[in-house]
Amino acid sequence: MSWGKGIIIAFIFFAAFIATLVTVCIKQEMSLVSKDYYQEELDYQQQIQRIENTSKLSVLPSITITNDSLKLVFDNLGHIKGGVLKLTRASSARHDASFTLPEHTGREVVFPLSNLPRGRYTGSFQWVMDGKEYYFNQPVDL
Does the structure show a pLDDT above 80 at 47?
A: yes
Question: pTM of the full predicted structure?
Answer: 0.67
Q: What is the mean pLDDT of the chain?
A: 84
**What is the pLDDT, as a whole number, of residue 105?**
63
Cβ–Cβ < 8 Å for 133, 53 = yes
CATH superfamily assigned to domain 37-141: Immunoglobulins (2.60.40.10)
The DSSP element (H or E) to which 81 belongs, if any, is strand 80-88
pLDDT at 19 over 90: yes
| pLDDT tens by residue, 100-129 | 887 766 677 888 887 788 888 888 989 888
Q: How far apart are CA 43 and CA 40, in angstroms?
A: 5
**CA dihedral defined by 11, 14, 20, 25, rounded to 10 degrees?**
-120
Q: Quick check: 129 and 53 in contact, CB under 8 A? A: no
33: pLDDT strictly greater than 70 = no
